[in-house]
Structure 1
């Protein structure tokens, strides 16, 4: 009896034979390995899901070489990258950012009122990022601007006709992102390096995922069309309220697009500040929520149509704060042909675009 007990003590496992302990360890090891494989698979599935959310358009192929020349780029710098990370690009960039008023899908119909067919560029901003990527200028183009809309290629083949005194936002209506980019390049003579488009639902989801956004209004807003009623002052807005603020025009100023642009520019800065204050890298669940909100309603050019490319762009802009972002509106005057429309004010407009080059 004593020798039998001694044998158990030598095994060092409270009475379990050595062979059983080895089996238990193997099972534990296999279970852990299985969990790691499942975790990696889930992460890969989440990554694939976010990637597959993004819709893209090959604008470079569609437009070919009939475009303004690319800007001079600055070599990549590893100053802000770790030794194990790829060097971050530091060259200047021009990105056309559009907010689409598409009513496709239940959410967009509900948020947009469901009264309009088709889609137009409800908001248009040229985002110019300086070389070094520590400063940026956002230039808003009023949707009511009358322009010469160039001939644009169509998905179905053929092309649109040149249109004179056309509303700027009609370019998106007739030719989608490709025509929007070509029209912007034709009136600015500035090459757009990238294209980003987000719809009603995506914007509202982004704001909600970030926990809302804080904006200060200088006057009361009372707009039954956008369903927005705010007293002058500082407000923390939900996604639906922020979208209404971005869309309101009859409840502020003279009811033109110019008053709305001022609110949109405030919103952009407020969003930048909210993103900076939300440490997404320490909260994977929040990071995924924000990424899901953005990618589910995003259309880009093929140079930004993956999470890795979007993250790379974001990392290269880590030194860009809201204080170093300047917002301006393309100089315009009332159109001689229509008091409800505007045209580019020259030479101020051309000088602005030239300064970005």
Structure 2
């Protein structure tokens, strides 16, 4: 008999088939729901993990108001299509490379004992208004400076020190003192700071699939453990870090030779990032994000995944070709032939030029 309600013959067979289909659909639905729940849980864990990787330092609270003025921010034009437009104003970031002694990975990569850390790399990165071009200024660690009084995490403050090496600022007062010293010598406000340790840098290079660089001379440096013939090389994270640390194997063995290699690496990393379509590979994207955040210390204005992502998205039109790398103009220090001092008025002119962007 045909049932006008179900549209099937009322002999029991149709109901059986429909029941099986219903159970199959329910099972598929439960499986899909379970997969979505697990996927959401995994995504939530990944976001929490990446967020938790980042160490934040409250720079504004530590330094107070005795700092250079903030750059004037151009208002976002009204009527933009996006409800939350990306920032386009100029921004200046102090990037520190720390030879941290903490952790087995850093020690294995050349961090030495476990009694401290130095900022062997210091770059003032100024991104121009519009965020399509940038200037990277390297500060030689051997530069003699006046180190201002810096607050200490344990309370109190350091004394003003005259004619001391630039990298002592980080050694005595961490990133807060490094920022204050840079602001004191440049009269340029550091909107943010970013510190990356040995292992974080090596992991980032590996997550990107390595980096390709060209050197103009043979390198043989026992201290950095790098031997490299002149020419083009594709380096993994460990060898890229060794290149960034190489000093005695190039030029006259001074910090200026190492800075030249670091600037080559900066350009190479930018080119590698721009040529790697991370969005097509969630696995690689996560590895890169984990590497970036894993060895990262920032100010509290950048210490979340959301804030770092916004900064990264605002730099989407910044290409390696539009990044200028320079070294702070220096001359041999009159008091010590193994140290340098800022060359004036060239150094002041350089810092002043950053304020115009």
TM-score range, shorter chain: over 0.9
- Alpha carbons 1:8, 1:17 under 8 Å: kept: no
**SS, match of residue 325 in structure 2:** strand
Corresponding residue of 1:312 = 310
CA shift, 1:352, in A, is 0.4
* Inter-partner Cα distance in structure 2 for 1:116 and 1:243: 19
Structure 1 residues 188-207: aligned runs within 5 Å: 188-207=186-205
**SS, match of residue 16 in structure 1:** helix
TM-score scaled by structure 2?
0.94
CA shift, 1:9, in A, is 8.5
Corresponding residue of 2:144 = 146
- Alpha carbons 2:99, 2:111 under 8 Å: kept: no
* Inter-partner Cα distance in structure 2 for 1:8 and 1:270: 74
- Alpha carbons 1:78, 1:88 under 8 Å: kept: no
* Inter-partner Cα distance in structure 2 for 1:273 and 1:333: 32
Within the alignment, does 1:226 sit opposite 2:224 as a pair?
Answer: yes
* Inter-partner Cα distance in structure 2 for 1:167 and 1:194: 22
CA-to-partner distance for each residue in 1:213-236, whole Å, 9 max, x for gaps? 000001111111111111111111
* Inter-partner Cα distance in structure 1 for 2:319 and 2:52: 30
Within the alignment, does 1:48 sit opposite 2:51 as a pair?
Answer: no
CA-to-partner distance for each residue in 1:128-151, whole Å, 9 max, x for gaps? 000000000000000000000000
TM-score scaled by structure 1?
0.94
Corresponding residue of 1:177 = 175
CA shift, 1:35, in A, is 1.7
Q: CA RMSD in A?
A: 2.0
Of the candidates 330, 333, 355, which is equivalent to residue 332 of structure 1? 330
Corresponding residue of 1:272 = 270
- Alpha carbons 1:76, 1:91 under 8 Å: kept: no
* Inter-partner Cα distance in structure 2 for 1:281 and 1:180: 35
CA-to-partner distance for each residue in 1:283-302, whole Å, 9 max, x for gaps? 10000001111111000000
- Alpha carbons 2:102, 2:114 under 8 Å: kept: no
Structure 2: give runs of 5+ residues left out of the alignment: none
CA shift, 1:75, in A, is 2.5
Within the alignment, does 1:119 sit opposite 2:122 as a pair?
Answer: no
Alpha carbons of structure 1 residues 77 and 209: separation in structure 2 relative to 1, 3 Å: farther
Structure 1: give runs of 5+ residues left out of the alignment: none
* Inter-partner Cα distance in structure 2 for 1:60 and 1:237: 38
Of the candidates 291, 295, 298, which is equivalent to residue 297 of structure 1? 295
CA shift, 1:10, in A, is 7.8
* Inter-partner Cα distance in structure 1 for 2:86 and 2:260: 32
- Alpha carbons 2:111, 2:198 under 8 Å: kept: no
Alpha carbons of structure 1 residues 9 and 87: separation in structure 2 relative to 1, 3 Å: farther
- Alpha carbons 2:200, 2:294 under 8 Å: kept: yes
